[in-house]
Chains A and B, each alone.
Chain A
Amino acid sequence: EAGVAQSPRYKIIEKRQSVAFWCNPISGHATLYWYQQILGQGPKLLIQFQNNGVVDDSQLPKDRFSAERLKGVDSTLKIQPAKLEDSAVYLCASSLGSRTSSYNSPLHFGNGTRLTVT
Chain B
Amino acid sequence: GQNIDQPTEMTATEGAIVQINCTYQTSGFNGLFWYQQHAGEAPTFLSYNVLDGLEEKGRFSSFLSRSKGYSYLLLKELQMKDSASYLCAVRDKTGANNLFFGTGTRLTVIP
- Identify the A interface with B (CB < 8 A): 4, 33, 35, 40-45, 48, 55-56, 58, 91, 97, 99-100, 103-104, 106-112
Contacts and interface: CB of A to CB of B under 8 A. Distances in A.
Contacts of B93: 103
Interface in B76-110: 87, 89, 91, 93, 95-104
**Secondary structure call for the B interface:** strand
Given A42-B4, A97-B97, A99-B97, 12 more contacts: A42-B102, A42-B103, A43-B101, A48-B96, A48-B98, A56-B96, A91-B43, A103-B31, A103-B93, A108-B45, A109-B42, A111-B41
Contact of B48 (A33, A58, A106): A106
A58 B95 CA distance: 10
Contacts of A107: 33, 43, 45, 99
A44 B91 CA distance: 13
A45 B43 contact: no
A112 B91 CA distance: 21
21 contacts: A4-B42, A33-B99, A35-B101, A41-B103, A42-B102, A42-B104, A43-B87, A45-B98, A45-B99, A48-B98, A55-B96, A56-B95, A56-B96, A103-B50, A103-B91, A103-B97, A104-B31, A104-B50, A106-B33, A106-B45, A107-B99
Interface residues of B, number: 25
B23 interface: no
A103 B33 CA distance: 11
B42 A104 contact: no
Contacts of A4: 42
Nearest to A35: B101
A109 B98 contact: no
Contacts of B96: 48, 55-56, 99
B33 A56 contact: no
Nearest to B96: A56
